[in-house]
């Protein structure tokens, strides 16, 4: 997940790495599905790690 986000959006912010580390497998699957439609890391992970 971290590698995919970095390839798409550039260096991974610390808050995003923390959010990914704390995410459930189901949440990671959702983010992986949404990575193609997201316009930014914040858009992908959201303010609370929820998809928008």
Contacts of 22 (CB under 8 A, 6+ apart): 49
Q: How far apart are CA 25 and CA 8, in angstroms?
A: 21
Q: How far apart are CA 44 and CA 52, in angstroms?
A: 7
Please state, in angstroms and as integers, the Cα–Cα distance from residue 4 to each residue in 9, 36, following that order.
Answer: 9, 10
Instruction: Give the per-residue pLDDT at 19.
Output: 95
Instruction: Give the per-residue pLDDT at 47.
Output: 65
Q: Per the confidence metrics, is the pTM higher than 0.75?
A: yes
Per-residue model confidence as pLDDT tens digits over 8-52 = 999 999 999 999 999 999 999 999 999 999 999 999 998 654 444
Write down the domain spans for the chain.
2-45
CA-closest candidate to residue 42, choices 15, 7, 2:
15
């Amino acid at each position: 997940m971290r590698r995919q986000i970095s390839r798409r959006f550039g260096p991974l912010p610390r808050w995003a790495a923390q959010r990914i580390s704390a995410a459930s497998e189901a949440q990671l699957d959702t983010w992986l599905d949404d990575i193609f439609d997201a316009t930014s890391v914040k858009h992908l992970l959201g303010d609370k790690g929820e998809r928008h």
